[in-house]
Amino acid sequence: MNQPTERTDTTFSADQRPVVKALLHALPEGTVLIGAAVTERSAGIWRSDQVLAQVLVRPKTTKDVSCALRICYEHHQSVVPHGGLTGLVEGALTEPLDIVLSTERLNVIEEISASERTMVVQAGVMLQNVQEAAASEGLMFPLDLGSRGSCTLGGNLATNAGGNRVIRYGMARDMVLGLEAVMADGTIISSMNRMIKNNAGYDLKQWFLGTEGTLGIITRAVLRCREEVTTAPTALVAINSFDALIAFLKQLDRGLAGNLSAFEVMWQNFYQLVTQPPAPNQRPLNDNAAYYVLVEAMGASQEQLEAILEQTLEAELIVDAVVSQSSQQTDQLWALRDDVAQAFQFAPVFLFDVSLRLSEMAAYVDAVNAGLTARFEAPKNFVLGHVGDGNLHFAIAVGGDSPAQREGVEAAVYEPLIAIQGSVSAEHGVGLEKKPYLHFVRDEAEIQLMRTIKAAMDPRGILNPGKIF
């Protein structure tokens, strides 16, 4: 694959590089930013460094995106897409001679159809704004993440985001009917399908969903909304064994008859972390249980959930529970699950998201902790996750973040996944951070096919170069 030549061209200052001059000439005034207006931007909301690229393009239309990419393609110029910069796998990091293409001005909700339960949005719209717009029409957009107030729809789709309600509504790709994307050479693929069923040839949107901006840049999407759910009883449950947790999940799912929308599990050390000072949260249950489960049942009645909890308490599957009695209490329970930032009091912290079968989960966590203990003195591993759909998150502190420490932590987390056929990425993508470990969970034939697709769709290798593989 050809390498983008502009990445190594240091002959010109930013505004004198031929590709930049061409962009300035072709795009509307204010679209191209240069110098400090770019380099003073944060590289990500979880990061302390700044953007290394010196040029940023912020188009307002798909046509502008197409024009910018056509020019970059002609100049073999590398392009790194930016959305809300909430990613955790270094998928939006830049080099000094990259050009950033930001979707920040592609921020319009173009249409909402309450009768068809669809919404047409541009890629730079924040997820929370999508949720609120749906609610204003009596609808619901089910995708929900802790970063809802910062992340953008385009980034959610480019990484196939998961979040809190995957167990019922699926991943981001399950909420998209159609989309518009621009390929490396500026070609616009406008596959704005509005139907649930459409088997006429290839489903082209799948080439852009979850591919981290390496095959094309998403500009617009047709979202599938659902009818607004007016009841969502929520409870926090304490459980003492993982076997009991699995049995509780099964009985809960059956008893709620399809209304289980979240099953979020906090291991004891994470629950203690977020319910003890300096954390501001109140402790709704004693902190001596092994696991704490946040249960949400959208569409069920409170009486239905309480009856199941009583049954499982009598069956000794759970040891204690508290059911929310108000929206304020519901928010307080969710605040426990979302308060991952408490782990940063032990900074530096390594964050992970992995996926594996439920039956392997307890032994896998034990293996990770054993690997950390064998490599480091007094490591801390705070564990939580969307356990109902097989997704675990780790926040790990080992006293430093040197390359050797990072390598040791990653080995402890990723190596046990090989034997159980788990995944190094459940919902955050691969980016740069997980690239060295892709071969742990994808065989050579799969990776070669990925490379073939990349070469066919981006033959000059300009789109988010170096990410994934």
Q: Which domains does the chain have, with CATH numbers?
A: 5-105 (3.30.43.10), 109-227 (3.30.465.10), 234-338 (3.30.70.2190), 343-452 (3.30.70.2740)
Joined together, the tokens standing for residue 40 give 């003073």
Average pLDDT over residues 44-68: 96
Instruction: Answer yes or no: is pLDDT of 177 > 50.
Output: yes
Q: Give the pLDDT confidence score for residue 5 in this predicted structure.
A: 44
Q: Give the pLDDT confidence score for residue 14 in this predicted structure.
A: 82
Instruction: Answer yes or no: is pLDDT of 1 > 50.
Output: no
pLDDT tens digits, one per residue of 365-395: 999 999 999 999 999 999 999 999 999 999 9
End-to-end Cα distance, the chain: 12
- Regarding predicted confidence, which is higher, 241 or 45? 241
pLDDT confidence of 308, banded at 50, 70, 90? very high
pLDDT tens digits, one per residue of 97-119: 999 999 999 999 999 999 999 99
pLDDT confidence of 10, banded at 50, 70, 90? very low
pLDDT confidence of 336, banded at 50, 70, 90? very high
pLDDT tens digits, one per residue of 124-155: 999 999 999 999 999 999 999 888 999 999 99
Q: Give the pLDDT confidence score for residue 376 in this predicted structure.
A: 98
Angle of helix 327-338 relative to helix 268-275, nearest 10 degrees?
120
Strand order in the sheet with 118-122: 109-113, 118-122, 217-224, 176-182, 188-191
Q: Give the pLDDT confidence score for residue 204 in this predicted structure.
A: 95
Instruction: Answer yes or no: is pLDDT of 4 > 80.
Output: no
Instruction: Answer yes or no: is pLDDT of 68 > 90.
Output: yes
340-347: which pairs have CB atoms within 8 A and are 24 or more residues apart? 340/146, 340/384, 340/393, 340/395, 342/273, 342/274, 342/278, 342/279, 343/273, 343/380, 343/382, 343/395, 343/397, 345/278, 346/380, 346/397, 347/397
Q: Give the pLDDT confidence score for residue 12 in this predicted structure.
A: 54
Average pLDDT over residues 226-244: 97
Joined together, the tokens standing for residue 317 give 């599957």
Coil, helix or strand at residue 56: strand
pLDDT tens digits, one per residue of 398-419: 999 999 999 999 999 999 999 9
Q: Give the pLDDT confidence score for residue 146 in this predicted structure.
A: 84
Q: How does the average pLDDT of the chain come out, rounded?
A: 95
Residue pair 245/387 in contact (Cβ under 8 Å)? The answer is yes
